Structure 1
Amino acid sequence: MKQQRGHKARLYLTPVQELAADGQGHAARTMWNLIHSWWTMLPKDKRNLGAADEAIRQGRKELPWLAALPAQASQAVLKTYFRAWVNCWERRADAPNFKDRFRSRMAIDIPQGRDLQIVRLNRRWGRMWAPKIGHLYFRWTRDLPVGKRANKLNKVTGARLVKEADGWHVVFRVQHEVPEPAEHTGPSVGVDRGITKPLALSDGTFREHGPWLTEGETKRLRRLEKKSARKRKNRKKGEKISRHLARTYDQIARLRATAKRRAVDWQHKTTTSIADTFSRIGVEDLAVLNMVKSARGTVETPGKNVRQKAGLNRAIAGEAWGRTVTMLEYKAAQRGGIVVKVPAPNTSRRCSACGFITPGSRETQARFVCKADGCGYEENADTNASRNIDHAAGSAVSGRGAGADGQAEKRQPPTQPHAA
């Protein structure tokens, strides 16, 4: 079967090439904004890709700085914009919006793989071609199907240049032909995501990590954030950002990008280990965006414990629960496994040994002691929740909890009970 994957590599540009790439990135962002203004201004019956394509061609003729973006990259911006509307119509994403100069990430598409001219120079370095920029050198960290190794089924189909806090990167779109995976014969597992215990597994083990930044990096980040706050306080409204403040923003962004890279690296290693070991992986179907909403409230009804809720929101966002599930889904599928999402309510309140929900069983945030008559099961609260998730994944438990009167719900016994 065909498998589409992305491979990211660090680019090393000369100052002239970096200037050209920045120009194309700003042109691509401006192209998006122009298409968005043109699209939303026209009546619905006159919106079509043909008219948009003609408008792009005319704009590139009349605006020389817009023509800095290659023609194929301009067409890719239009296709991406239309794809964003399709995702919105199908209720998978919000409507596309204006891209701010400082809040949006610069990106340049190279849609055709044959234009890349990828060559491996030695064990550590590779070279590629970017239109109107030239030959670019990148770190060779994974074998790519190029040269004699490339064919109709194994090839690089395109790439995208993206600028992040630590510089420019290239993301190759790689197509491989892989055999159909055999059915995974490993055991099943439930995974509970949390803050104190990032991942708790139903076999009683945990997957933990330390801080993403060292103590010195954390102090430096705090110092830079205080510095930027002072500079913003002294800046008049509407005044242009000074070079010193822009430099401080860049330093903060680089430290946060370092933390994100370490987090993604840990997630990749951890999810790979779980997907290799277990055949069926149960996870909670969480609405993470709703969980990290602010508790500030309104003027009429102000919220409570706003600072505490903000700290919890930052902790949840730092764990990137959604990215963990995404990694598990495609890695499990590659190995013949499956990820099952189960309803989240009461997974932490139900006893995984007897199946009852009894008020007061969750003694503390970290400890679960069943208060049901004749049970007395005691376990780490996250481990108990992960075992309930595993049971629900195997038996399609609805996960509905106690009623409005607070009475215990009818017992729902596990299909493969764990030893209490």
Structure 2
Amino acid sequence: MLRRQAYKFRIEPTGEQQRKLRQFAGACRFVFNKALAVQQVNREEGGKYIGYVAMAKYLTAWRNGDETPWLKDAPVHPLQHALKDLDRAYQNFFAQRADFPRFKKRGQRDSFRYPDPKQIKLDQGNSRINLPKLGWLRYRNSRQVLGTLKNVTVSLSAGHWYVSIQTEREVAVPLHAAPLAVGIDLGVVRFATLWDGERETVLEPLNTFARHQHRLAKAQRQMARKTKFSSNWKKAKARVQRIQRQIANARADYLHKATTAISKSHALVIVEDLQVASMTRSASGTAEQPGSRVRQKAGLNRSILDQGWGEFRRQLDYKLAWRGGWLVAVPPQNTSRTCPCCGHVSADNRQTQARFECVGCGYENNADVVGAINILRAGHARLAESANAE
């Protein structure tokens, strides 16, 4: 079994290396935006989509031209990978998996990638890594990097630079040590309600954003009062970024601990196939047809996004695969409206957000527990159908 894994470390660049890191990230952003502009002009003129191979010739002309000779100062492979990122964005748009590609802005997700492992040297004993045109970079070595190095991504987050080292290695096909199944109902009041057929387990929400919302709003107001791009504005912006990073780190830590515990104790995990993007769509509407209860919907959207349901499912997927388990997604319709005792389906069964009382047989329980029970049963039914089909 081939396992691909990424190891992320914070690096400690020198002043000259920081200048080059920003220069390389800016060059990749410039190439991405310029290529996107070329694609848009070509489309307006009725031309066909320009693929990566043809677009790479534009990059050669830009690097050798008189207008942008400074592109030669950046390593060529990250520039080429910026074109591949644009090509992938277009393919996702054509397949209706994402919106139309947008121009990148300075200071937002600055990053670039070295795709050729032959140009990268990793010295774990001395906690350093050598990257083209940057030299040796010190990094905070917190764990051993296992496997064959495939590529390295350098990114900027809240004023700090990081390297993400992707590796791959062959491992034995795992056999899960705990062959148990569990159904998981996700929510806002309760982050996750687990049902394994005998008992329930509740994971309380961390509500990271809600806990820091007022502090973040205060920092954003202070930044708004500063003259844009002044020294004080840059300090205020750094403060906002630090708070946002703290929120993201706390959420990621909570999700990793929860998904690791679940993947270790259960071989089969069944979740709802939630469409988070659709669930959190704005209710503001248009000028001709304005929405209703916009503030309430905005608050609900914030609460849903604060939980990190999509990241929770993503982590469960790969962690279960690493341990020999399976993740099954079932349709979410009526999971908390169906009586697990008599099977009666009705919106009246759910009296409140937390209370479930069947109008058919009188069965009572917590609505989230009922949802987890039905999710577990739906997962077993789907697996049985797949087995019969084979």
Other-structure match for 1:381: 367
The 8 Å contact of residues 24 and 69 in structure 1, kept in 2 or not, is answered as: yes
**Residue number among 201, 208, 232 corresponding to 2:204 in the alignment:** 208
Displacement after TM superposition at 1:109 (Å) = 1.0
Shift, 1:175, TM fit: 0.7
Q: Does 1:187 align with 2:192?
A: no
Overall identity of the aligned pairs, in %: 32
Q: Among residues 87, 106, 110, which one is paired with 1:106 in the alignment?
A: 110
Q: What is the number of equivalent residue pairs in this alignment? A: 377
> Residues 370 and 48 of structure 1: is their aligned pair in 2 closer, same or farther, counting only changes over 3 Å?
closer
Please state whether the residue corresponding to 2:328 is helix, strand or coil.
strand
SS at match of 1:99: coil
Q: Residue 171 of structure 2 corresponds to which residue in structure 1?
A: 178
Q: Structure 1 stretch 113-122 or stretch 342-351: which is displaced more?
A: 113-122
Alignment correspondent of 2:84: 79
1:1-400 equivalences under 5 Å are 1-42=1-42, 44-45=47-48, 47-62=50-65, 63-102=68-107, 104-121=108-125, 126-145=127-146, 154-182=147-175, 186-202=179-195, 203-212=199-208, 219-231=214-226, 241-373=229-361, 376-396=362-382
- Determine the C-alpha separation between the residues in 2 that align with 1:292 and 1:208: 21
Query: Residues 206 and 254 of structure 2 are in contact (CA less than 8 Å); yes or no, is this contact kept in structure 1?
Result: no
Contact 1:285-1:343 within 8 A present in 2 as well: yes
Instruction: After superposition, give the CA deviation of every residue in 1:375-412 in whole Å (9 maximum; x if it has no partner).
Output: x3222111111111111111139xxxxxxxxxxxxxxx
Do 1:13 and 1:137's aligned partners in 2 also have CA atoms closer than 8 Å?
A: yes
C-alpha distance in structure 2 between counterparts of 1:49 and 1:214, whole Å:
43
Does structure 2 retain, via aligned residues, the 8 Å contact 1:109–1:160? yes
**Which consecutive unaligned segments of at least 5 residues does structure 1 have?**
146-153, 232-238, 398-413, 416-420
Q: Alignment partner of 2:103: what SS? A: coil
- Asked if 2 retains the 8 angstrom alpha-carbon contact of 1:358 and 1:372, the reply is no
RMSD: 2.4
**Tell me, what secondary structure is at the counterpart of 1:353?**
coil
- Aligned-partner Cα distance in 2 for 1:26–1:346: 49
Deviation of 1:348 (Å): 1.1
For residues 111 and 303 of structure 2, what CA distance do their matches in structure 1 show?
A: 29
Query: Judging changes above 3 Å, is the alpha-carbon distance between structure 1 residues 224 and 357 closer, same or farther for their aligned structure 2 residues?
Result: same
Q: Deviations over 1:237-272 (max 9, x none)?
A: xx9544433332221121011111111111111111
Contact 1:282–1:393, Cα closer than 8 Å, also in 2 = yes
Change (3 A) 1:284 1:133: same
Normalised by the size of structure 2, how large is the TM-score? 0.90
Per-residue Cα deviation, 1:187-220 (whole angstroms, up to 9, x for no partner) = 21111111111111113111124343796x6553
Change in CA separation of 1:258 and 1:176 when aligned onto 2, cut-off 3 Å: same
Asked if the contact 2:189/2:205 (under 8 Å) is kept, the reply is no
Residues 176 and 324 in structure 2, CA contact (< 8 A), matched pair in contact too: yes
- C-alpha change, 1:117 and 1:321, in structure 2 (3 Å) is same
1:65-111 alpha-carbon deviations (Å, 9 max, x no partner) = 32232011111112222222222233322332211224x31112111
What is the rounded CA distance, in whole Å, between the counterparts of 1:209 and 1:344 in structure 2? 20
**Matched position secondary structure for 1:396:** helix
Separation in 2, partners of 1:352, 1:367: 14
Whether the aligned pair in 2 keeps the contact of 1:184 and 1:337 (CA below 8 Å) is no
In 2, are the aligned partners of 1:156 and 1:174 still within 8 Å (CA)? yes
Query: Which range moves more in the overlay, 52-61 or 90-99?
Result: 90-99
SS state at 1:347 partner: coil
Local SS of the residue matching 2:72: helix
**2:208/2:251 contact within 8 Å kept:** yes
CA contact (8 A) 1:352 1:384 kept: yes
What runs of 5+ residues in structure 2 fail to find an aligned partner? 386-390
State the alpha-carbon separation in 1 of the partners of residues 101 and 161 from structure 2.
24
Deviations 1:359-384 (CA, angstroms, capped at 9, x unpaired): 532122112122223xx322211111
Query: Alpha-carbon deviation of 1:21?
Result: 0.4
Distance in 1, Cα, partners of 2:19 & 2:222: 29
Aligned letter for 1:212?
A: T
1:274 CA drift (Å): 0.9
Q: Does the aligned pair in 2 maintain the 1:166–1:257 contact within 8 Å?
A: no
Q: 1:400 corresponds to which residue?
A: none
Which residue number in structure 1 is paired with residue 388 of structure 2?
none
8 Å CA contact 1:113–1:157 kept in 2: the answer is yes
User: 1:212 & 1:199 partners in 2: Cα distance?
Assistant: 15
Q: Is the 8 A contact 2:182 2:376 kept in 1?
A: yes
Q: CA deviation digits over 1:143-176, x for unaligned, max 9?
A: 114xxxxxxxx31111010111141110111111
Summarize the Cα distance change of 1:89–1:303 in structure 2 as closer, same or farther, 3 Å threshold: closer
Q: Is the 8 A contact 1:361 1:369 kept in 2?
A: yes
